[in-house]
């Protein structure tokens, strides 16, 4: 079992929305989609909670890139429909207890 398996994650958009709407999630997501490396200096200025959201955003962006989704997210206050659909599909799979397909799953 991997460490990530102990974190259940959201099983609906309603539960995922507060995380995805966080400004640090947006910053991490956009950084990966633009091809920028991990910004340790920025991380040092964040609270622990913001650091987790930043890393969550980077992880979701890497998953999007893995499945060839090119999502431009320009406004932090408006989650793109394609990203919302991607997050919702993951949540529905989680709710249905289907096997994980993300790159962090147990092998």
Q: Is residue 77 part of a domain?
A: yes
Q: pLDDT at position 103, please?
A: 58
Q: Give CA–CA dist 84/86, Å, rounded.
A: 5
How many domains are contained in the chain? 1
Q: Is residue 18 part of a domain?
A: yes
Q: Which domain holds residue 84?
A: 3-95
Q: Is residue 107 part of a domain?
A: no
Dihedral of alpha carbons 23, 29, 35, 39, sign: positive
* pLDDT over threshold 70, residue 107: no
Q: Label residue 82 by pLDDT band (50, 70, 90).
A: very high
Q: Is residue 37 part of a domain?
A: yes
pTM: 0.82
Q: pLDDT at position 54, please?
A: 95
Q: Label residue 1 by pLDDT band (50, 70, 90).
A: very low
Q: Is residue 106 part of a domain?
A: no
Q: What is the pLDDT of residues 2-53, one digit of tens each?
A: 444 445 677 788 888 999 999 999 999 999 999 999 889 999 999 999 999 9
| Better-predicted residue by pLDDT, 36 or 98 | 36
Q: What is the mean pLDDT of the chain?
A: 85
Q: Is residue 105 part of a domain?
A: no
Q: Is residue 46 part of a domain?
A: yes
Q: Is residue 48 part of a domain?
A: yes
Q: Which residue has the tokens 């958009």?
A: 13
Dihedral in degrees, nearest 10, Cα atoms 104, 94, 47, 80: 100
How big is the CA angle at 75 (ends 50 and 66), to the nearest 5 degrees? 70
């Amino acid at each position: 079992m991997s460490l990530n398996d102990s974190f259940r994650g959201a099983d609906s958009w309603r539960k995922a929305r507060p995380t995805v709407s966080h400004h640090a999630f947006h910053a991490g997501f956009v950084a990966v989609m633009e091809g920028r490396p991990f910004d340790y200096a920025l991380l040092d200025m964040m609270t622990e909670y913001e650091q987790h959201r930043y890393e969550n955003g980077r992880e979701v962006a890497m998953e999007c890139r893995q499945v060839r989704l090119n999502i431009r997210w320009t406004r932090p206050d408006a989650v793109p429909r394609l990203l919302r659909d991607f997050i919702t599909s993951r949540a529905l799979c989680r709710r249905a207890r289907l096997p994980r397909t993300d790159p962090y799953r147990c092998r």
